[in-house]
Structure 1
């Protein structure tokens, strides 16, 4: 069980790659969305609900194991953030949209404009997960705004 929770929390161990683990997790998520993101909104929401649940559970477990509030190797929250960034959008085989969403999400996740930092104060896996979910919501809005300008 420990191996499985670590495997999930680290985004199939992408969070253990050298340097910038959050970016590696986000790249992995963007690639997966590029190849497999469903166009059906119901399926997108189901995927996000499952990822959210797995993120809270697995990130809480790994943070307790490592005795760190938000370990760098945990990237399932970035994966969730990317999924929310693409919510309601058809990123499947759209390289421009996939790259733009990745770029916007990483900038928002790194800068963390308010109210995102407030959610980091939540306990355990909730704090690890919810701040990236909110970053995904902000990124989704910005992607729609910027993407609308590009695709016109």
Structure 2
């Protein structure tokens, strides 16, 4: 199935073939999960959770920190290039930002199924609702940095919520 375009020829729903045509698109669309509907941001977070469970959870804190920094920088580049290709600076299918931000949340959250589920729900809530200043950053930064940054701020909100839940004894 091919990409769907609007009347101006801009791609609305990229195809998997379009994503896999360039390496930066594969990254920005988290190996293609960004083409899944509905909720490509949620699919990106699920992708991030899977990568965390299979690979990142086994790394040292120093290695996870390095992966986060490198993934953020690579994400800024990949989302910038992909946004240029699409003609839309923050296309909904670009979901690498959700994956990287959720790794940050998981890294600093308790390592239990209940805590990770709570982290997932909190992160998705703040990423979707975009309370201040998330919405401010989302509306004002149109490049790859902006795509990545508003999700890091949503992750910070989720971590604050996690800290409250841990402090109240709801999560351990």
If the length of structure 2 is used for normalisation, what is the TM-score? 0.79
Aligned CA-pair RMSD = 1.9
Structure 2 gaps, min length 5: 1-19
Q: CA deviation at 1:2?
A: 5.4
For the 8 Å contact 1:38–1:44, the answer to whether it is kept is no
- 1:5-55 CA distance string (max 9 Å, x none): 111000110111121100000011112223332463212211110110111
Alignment partner of 1:28 out of 35, 41, 47: 47
- 1:38-90 CA distance string (max 9 Å, x none): 46321221111011011100001111100012101100000111012123335
For the 8 Å contact 1:119–1:130, the answer to whether it is kept is yes
For the 8 Å contact 2:34–2:94, the answer to whether it is kept is yes
Which segment is superposed worse, 135-144 or 17-26? 135-144
* Residues 55 and 76 of structure 1, relative CA distance in 2, 3 Å threshold: same
* Residues 98 and 32 of structure 1, relative CA distance in 2, 3 Å threshold: farther
Residue of structure 2 in register with 1:111 after alignment: 129
Alignment of 1:114-133 (within 5 A): 114-120=132-138, 121-133=140-152
Residue of structure 1 in register with 2:104 after alignment: 84
Larger radius of gyration: 2
* Structure 1 stretches of at least 4 aligned residues deviating more than 3 Å after TM superposition: none
The alignment covers a number of residue pairs equal to 150
Which segment is superposed worse, 140-149 or 31-40? 31-40
* Residues 88 and 76 of structure 1, relative CA distance in 2, 3 Å threshold: same
